[in-house]
Amino acid sequence: DIQMTQSPPSVSASVGDTVTITCRASQGISTWLAWYQQKPGTAPKLLIYSASLLQTGVPSRFSGGGSGRDFTLTISSLQPEDFAVYYCQQTNSLPTFGQGTRLEIK
């Protein structure tokens, strides 16, 4: 199985800040990577697919990058509704998720 390691496990930031979350795969996965946002008590929501493509309806302050083993999710100009848990997921082989990054209000 491909292991996905996210960092940091949690991050505190203020409204208006820019935050970057990283995800590393245990082996190369090209751009077979998605990012999800999950708020308490709700299902995850797809933000980014194929490493850098923005899902329809997702604000442009979300961006993704990377290929191979190393990937990033950047959220620019944080809004109050962005405070949530973020997961990466590799879809190169049988899917696996990272352990999640909790984005908290400072």
Q: Would you tell me which residues interact with another protein (CB under 8 A)?
A: 1, 31-34, 36, 42-46, 49-51, 53, 55, 87, 89, 91, 94-100
Q: What is the closest distance, in whole angstroms, from the C-beta atom of residue 65 to another protein in the complex?
A: 14
**CA distances, 14 to each of 6, 29, 72, 86, 104 (Å):** 21, 33, 19, 17, 8
What is the CB neighbour count within 10 angstroms for residue 81?
9
Q: Contact, 33 vs 23, CB < 8 A? A: yes
17 vs 69 by CB, closer to another protein: 69
Q: What is the closest distance, in whole angstroms, from the C-beta atom of residue 71 to another protein in the complex?
A: 12
1 vs 81 by CB, closer to another protein: 1
Q: Which amino acid is at 42?
A: T
Q: What is the closest distance, in whole angstroms, from the C-beta atom of residue 9 to another protein in the complex?
A: 11
